[in-house]
A and B are shown apart, each in its own frame.
Chain A
């Protein structure tokens, strides 16, 4: 019995499409939403100008609901491959706790509501950007790229990079170089983050027929890609400081974070492996790199927000 069902006391009803409140929340991919909301909030914090605290809270809520809605639509579309991947088999739709059509309706309803409320609370530009990010994630990434190309994470990564732009637009109503830089940082952070994950979850992806880089190009090539993108990310993370959009606090933090990320990427590259490139250490360096990549983005964006607030 899936743990969520057991914990909710829902004995023996898996497969009946009667999900608990927890299942409906799980459809919104809360862990992914946390990072999205955080980068969106930082985009709002570093923007020049003032937004009423309630409108700022509504903006954060709309970004969270919009991202969650995209996650729900993604789970509806990917229910067939989720069912064969160990990591995702217990999700509410493949486990039969929520009916696919209900999940789709839930996602579409929340997506529409988040865009409309954001337009009412802030401006059309922010709402349009939220709509673009939802459509990009569901159509461009989920329906088009994910099952077709190993570059799915690179191009599709843009979907997760939109929140800083949405946050900035909510405050100012127009774009500027800094939010575009933040967007680029998240864009270049996504490949090493997901490829590190796919190095130790490639069997799942292979079983589901998802052409992740380790499946199509092999682990050795993926490790080189992780290293290459980490170098690019490190340089890009320093750009706000070089270009004068952030102060010394941010610059020093970004340099230190990039150095540690590079250390992890080198460990991934130098991991003991057999002739086929398969890790002999159960991909421990890749797991450490994946874990660190999450902290990297949180600390980097926090440093930028603090730097702008005290600077």
Chain B
């Protein structure tokens, strides 16, 4: 759960929210990438390399 942002101005709150959202999307992209990497790795290794 995000920390309370009561002490911040509206502009700061928007900036924090935007930064967190961008970070979450980046983490999602990395996780998808890692899944793809392990899948490809397994395919290559099972292929005898």
- A interface residue numbers (CB < 8 A to B): 8-13, 16, 18-21, 24, 52, 54-55, 58, 61, 117, 120-121
Assess whether B37 is in contact with A10, with CB atoms less than 8 Å apart: no
Chain B nearest CB, measured from A171 CB (Å): 12
Question: Does B35 belong to the interface (CB within 8 Å)?
Answer: no
Q: A18-B19, A19-B19, A21-B22 are in contact. List 16 more A-B contacts (CB 8 A).
A: A9-B15, A9-B18, A11-B15, A12-B11, A13-B15, A13-B16, A13-B19, A20-B23, A21-B26, A24-B23, A24-B26, A55-B49, A117-B41, A120-B41, A120-B45, A121-B41
Query: Given the complex, which residues of B lie within 8 Å of A20, measured CB to CB?
Result: 19, 22-23
Assess whether A12 is in contact with B12, with CB atoms less than 8 Å apart: yes
Nearest B residue to A52, CB-CB: B49
Query: Given the complex, which residues of A lie within 8 Å of B26, measured CB to CB?
Result: 21, 24
State in angstroms the CA–CA spacing of A79 and B16 once bound together: 23
Chain B nearest CB, measured from A250 CB (Å): 30
Q: Which among B15, B40, B44 is the interface contact of A10 at CB below 8 angstroms?
A: B15
Known A-B contacts A11-B11, A12-B9, A21-B23; A54 and B44 likewise in contact (beta carbons under 8 Å): yes
Closest 8 CB pairs of A and B: A52-B49, A10-B15, A18-B19, A21-B26, A13-B15, A18-B16, A12-B12, A11-B15
Query: Given the complex, which residues of B lie within 8 Å of A55, measured CB to CB?
Result: 41, 44, 49
Query: Given the complex, which residues of A lie within 8 Å of B11, measured CB to CB?
Result: 11-12
Nearest B residue to A22, CB-CB: B22
Query: Given the complex, which residues of B lie within 8 Å of A120, measured CB to CB?
Result: 41, 45
Nearest A residue to B23, CB-CB: A21
Known A-B contacts A10-B15, A11-B12, A16-B16; A54 and B22 likewise in contact (beta carbons under 8 Å): no
Query: Given the complex, which residues of B lie within 8 Å of A58, measured CB to CB?
Result: 37, 41
Query: Given the complex, which residues of A lie within 8 Å of B37, measured CB to CB?
Result: 58, 61, 117
Chain B nearest CB, measured from A120 CB (Å): 6
Most chain A beta carbons < 10 A, residue from B11, B19, B26: B19
State in angstroms the CA–CA spacing of A19 and B22 once bound together: 10
Nearest A residue to B33, CB-CB: A61
Chain A nearest CB, measured from B27 CB (Å): 10
Q: Which among A10, A54, A61, A117 is the interface contact of B19 at CB below 8 angstroms?
A: A10
Chain A nearest CB, measured from B1 CB (Å): 15
Assess whether B41 is in contact with A8, with CB atoms less than 8 Å apart: no
Nearest B residue to A50, CB-CB: B49
State in angstroms the CA–CA spacing of A61 and B38 once bound together: 13
24 contacts between A and B (CB under 8 A): A8-B19, A8-B22, A9-B18, A10-B16, A11-B11, A11-B15, A12-B12, A13-B8, A13-B15, A16-B12, A18-B15, A20-B19, A20-B23, A21-B23, A21-B26, A24-B23, A24-B26, A52-B49, A54-B41, A54-B44, A55-B49, A58-B37, A61-B37, A120-B41
B1-32 CB mask vs A (1 if < 8 Å, else 0) is 00000001101100110111011001000000
Assess whether A12 is in contact with B15, with CB atoms less than 8 Å apart: yes
Known A-B contacts A54-B44, A55-B44; A10 and B18 likewise in contact (beta carbons under 8 Å): yes
Assess whether A52 is in contact with B18, with CB atoms less than 8 Å apart: no
Query: Given the complex, which residues of A lie within 8 Å of B23, measured CB to CB?
Result: 19-21, 24
State in angstroms the CA–CA spacing of A21 and B22 once bound together: 7
Query: Given the complex, which residues of A lie within 8 Å of B12, measured CB to CB?
Result: 11-13, 16
State in angstroms the CA–CA spacing of A12 and B41 once bound together: 43
